[in-house]
C-alpha cells in the first residue's frame, strides 16, 4: 500500500518525494509506504483549506450534513474492508475493529451530521431595554491530529464535528497507523466533498504535525496523543493564541469494593485492563481492591486473564493481538523490568511472546498483572499504555480516594460497588473527567469527553465538540 496525501481534492505525493516504511505489527514486516510530508505539503494543504472555507462555511447545515451522511453510508458499506485494514495496520484483533473501531467511526459522522440540524442560537433578553443574541460561527482552518491506538475512531471523532460546524480541515493521522485515514480519503473523494474542505497529510509529528500546529492560518487545534507532545503543542498554541483541545494520557484507577457484583466486575475488569492490548487511554491500569476482597479478587482475576488468547489479529479466536510497534513493545517490557526493580511481584505474564510461522516477527506480549507496589513508584505514576496493570489493596473509602487521586493524570475512573450512596460519593471525589460506576467504556456521544490535570485541557463530545469547533459572537440590540 503506497499512501498519498489528499490535498485540494487530489491525491499527491509528498513534495520531497520521500517515504517512510509502514510496518505490519503482527508480522514485523514492511507492507507499505507513508509520505514523509514536510512544511511544504502542510502549506499547500492549509492554503487549500483556507480557499475552501468561505463557501463550505456558508453552505446550509443540511447540505453539510448530507455530505457527512453520505460518507457514513459509504463507510458502513465497507465496514469489513476498513476493519481488516485497521487490524493489519495497528495489530488489534479484527473482531475489535469490526465491533468497536469502525462502527464508532460511522457513528461519529452520523452523530455530528444530525446534531448540527438541531443547533439553535441563544437569546438573552433584557426586557424592554434590549436583547442579546449569540451566533456561533466556524473558525476557519482547523488542525486535527490523532494517535495510533484507535486510529479511525479518533480521527473521525475530530474531523466529523469540525466539518459539521463549517470549518475546513487539515488532518494528520499517526504515522504509525495511517492506513484507514488514507482509505477514508478515497471515500471522501468518491462522495465529492468540495475541493480543499478536508485535506489529509501523512508524516511524522516533528516534520508534518509541528508545522501544521504552528501555521498562522490554523486557528484551532484538536489533539489526542501523549502528554509530552500535548505540552509541546500547547506552548505553540498559547504563543499564537490558537484555540486548543488536548486529550492526553491516563493512569486510570479501577476502584473495587467488596460489595460489588463480583462476576460482572471480574469480566469487565479483564476487558478494562487488556482490551486493545491495554492501549486505550481509558483502560484502568491501577486496580485498587478493598482488602477483604483482595485475595479472592487476585485469584479470580489471574484465572480469567489466563484464558485470554494472544494470537494473530485476523484470527477470530484472538483476544489480544500484537502491540502497535517494536519500540512500544520494548517500552512496555521495560516497565515490567522497572516494576520488578521497584519491588513488584509479577503475578501473571510480563513476557514477550513469539508466535509461530509468518507471525514470528510480530510484537506480541502477555497480559501482565503486578502486585506489591505502592502508589508512589514510577510504575504506578507513569503511563505505560500496554497490557500491564498493578493491583493494590485499600482498607477504607478515604484511602481508596486518596490512592485514586495520587496521580498527575485524571482522565477516567471506574468504581465497583452496589452501595448507591457510596458510588456517588466516590464519583464526586475522584479527580477525573469521566467516571463509570459498575461498568467501563460505555460511551454516549452526547456526553463531555476529556480529562483533568495532565490528562488534558478542554472537552469534546456532543455539544461540547460543536461549541469547541465554533466561536461565539454576542450581538446586543438596544430597543430604548
Residues making contact with ligand TXE (CB under 6 A) = 145-149, 172, 174-176, 204-206, 209-210, 213, 224-226, 229, 232-233, 247-249, 281, 383, 385
Per the listing, cell 434590549 goes with 130
Give me the helices (H) in 324-438, please: 326-341, 378-381, 397-405, 420-429
User: Least distance (Å) from ligand TXE to the CB of residue 201?
Assistant: 10
- Shortest Cβ 396–ligand TXE spacing (Å): 31
Q: Where are the alpha helices (DSSP H) in 321-396?
A: 326-341, 378-381
**CA–CA separation, 411 vs 434, rounded Å?**
6
Which is nearer to ligand TXE, 20 or 176 (by Cβ)?
A: 176
Catalytic residue among 260, 281, 283, 347: 281
Sequence-separated (6 or more) residues with CB below 8 Å from residue 441 = 271, 272, 275, 280, 282
CB of 22 to ligand TXE, least distance (A): 14
Contacts of residue 383, Cβ cutoff 8 Å, sequence gap at least 6: 226, 227, 249, 250, 251, 285, 409
Minimum CB–partner distance for residue 224 and ligand TXE (Å) = 5
C-alpha 351/C-alpha 308 separation (Å) is 14
| Residues 6 or more apart in contact with residue 337 via CB below 8 angstroms | none
Closer residue to ligand TXE (CB): 52 or 218:
218
Running DSSP on this structure, what letter comes out for residue 159?
H
Closest contact distance (angstroms) between CB of 221 and ligand TXE is 9
CB burial readout 265-296, b (16+ within 10 A) else e: bbebbbebbbbbbbbbbbbbbbbbbbeebbee
Burial class from Cβ neighbours inside 10 Å (0-12, 13-18, 19+) for residue 306 reads exposed
In this structure, the strands spanning 452-453 and 409-410 are antiparallel
Nearer of residues 91 and 311 to ligand TXE, judged by Cβ: 91
283 catalytic, yes or no? no
Least distance to ligand TXE, CB of residue 332, Å: 9
Q: Which is nearer to ligand TXE, 140 or 147 (CB)?
A: 147
From CA 321, how far away is CA 364, in angstroms rounded?
7
Name the residue nearer to ligand TXE (CB basis): 193 or 449.
Answer: 449
State yes or no: is 247 an active-site residue: yes
Which listed residue (86, 175, 247, 460) is catalytic? 247
Nearer to ligand TXE, 277 or 470 (CB): 277
Helix pair angle (262-274, 294-306), 10° resolution: 60
Active site residue ranges: 247, 281
Amino acid at each position: 500500500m503506497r499512501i498519498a496525501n489528499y490535498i485540494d481534492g487530489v491525491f499527491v505525493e509528498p513534495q520531497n518525494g520521500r517515504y517512510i516504511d509502514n510496518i505490519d505489527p503482527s508480522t514485523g514486516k514492511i507492507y507499505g509506504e507513508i509520505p514523509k510530508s514536510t512544511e511544504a505539503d502542510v502549506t499547500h494543504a492549509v492554503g487549500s483549506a483556507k480557499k475552501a472555507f468561505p463557501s463550505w462555511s456558508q453552505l446550509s447545515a443540511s447540505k453539510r450534513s448530507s455530505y457527512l451522511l453520505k460518507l457514513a453510508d459509504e463507510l458502513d458499506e465497507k465496514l469489513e474492508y476498513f476493519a481488516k485494514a485497521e487490524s493489519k495496520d495497528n495489530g488489534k484483533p479484527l473482531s475489535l475493529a469490526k465491533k468497536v473501531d469502525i462502527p464508532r467511526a460511522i457513528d461519529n459522522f452520523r452523530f455530528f451530521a444530525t446534531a448540527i440540524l438541531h443547533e439553535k442560537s441563544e437569546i438573552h433578553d433584557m426586557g424592554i431595554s434590549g436583547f442579546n443574541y449569540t451566533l456561533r460561527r466556524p473558525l476557519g482552518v482547523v488542525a486535527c491530529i490523532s494517535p495510533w491506538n484507535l486510529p479511525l475512531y479518533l480521527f473521525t471523532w475530530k474531523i466529523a464535528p469540525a466539518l459539521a460546524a463549517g470549518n475546513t480541515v487539515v488532518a494528520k493521522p499517526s504515522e504509525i497507523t495511517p492506513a484507514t485515514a488514507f482509505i477514508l480519503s478515497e471515500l471522501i473523494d468518491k462522495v465529492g466533498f468540495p475541493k480543499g474542505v478536508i485535506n489529509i497529510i501523512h508524516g511524522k509529528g516533528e516534520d508534518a504535525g509541528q508545522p501544521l500546529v504552528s501555521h498562522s492560518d490554523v486557528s484551532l487545534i484538536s489533539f489526542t496523543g501523549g502528554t509530552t507532545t500535548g505540552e509541546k503543542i500547547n506552548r505553540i498554541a498559547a504563543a499564537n493564541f490558537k484555540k486548543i483541545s488536548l486529550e492526553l494520557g491516563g493512569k486510570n484507577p479501577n476502584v473495587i469494593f467488596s460489595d460489588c457484583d463480583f462476576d460482572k466486575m471480574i469480566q469487565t475488569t479483564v476487558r478494562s485492563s487488556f482490551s486493545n492490548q491495554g492501549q486505550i487511554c481509558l483502560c484502568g491500569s491501577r486496580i485498587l481492591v478493598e482488602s477483604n476482597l483482595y485475595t479472592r479478587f487476585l485469584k479470580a482475576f489471574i484465572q480469567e486473564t489466563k484464558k485470554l488468547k494472544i494470537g494473530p489479529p485476523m484470527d477470530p479466536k484472538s483476544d489480544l493481538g500484537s502491540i502497535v510497534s517494536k519500540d512500544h513493545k520494548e517500552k512496555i517490557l521495560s516497565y515490567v523490568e522497572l516494576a520488578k526493580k521497584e519491588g513488584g511481584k509479577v503475578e501473571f505474564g510480563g513476557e514477550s511472546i513469539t508466535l509461530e510461522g509468518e507471525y514470528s516477527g510480530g510484537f506480541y506480549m502477555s497480559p501482565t498483572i503486578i502486585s506489591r507496589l505502592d502508589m508512589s513508584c514510577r510504575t504506578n505514576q507513569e503511563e505505560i499504555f500496554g497490557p500491564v496493570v498493578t493491583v493494590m489493596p485499600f482498607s477504607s473509602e478515604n484511602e481508596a480516594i486518596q490512592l485514586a487521586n495520587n496521580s498527575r493524570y485524571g482522565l477516567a475512573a471506574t468504581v465497583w460497588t452496589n452501595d448507591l450512596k457510596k458510588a456517588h460519593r466516590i464519583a464526586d471525589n475522584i479527580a477525573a473527567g469521566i467516571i463509570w460506576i459498575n461498568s467501563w467504556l460505555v460511551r454516549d456521544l452526547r456526553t463531555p469527553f476529556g480529562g483533568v490535570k495532565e490528562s488534558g485541557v478542554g472537552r469534546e463530545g456532543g455539544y461540547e465538540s460543536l461549541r469547541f469547533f465554533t466561536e461565539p459572537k454576542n450581538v446586543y440590540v438596544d430597543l430604548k
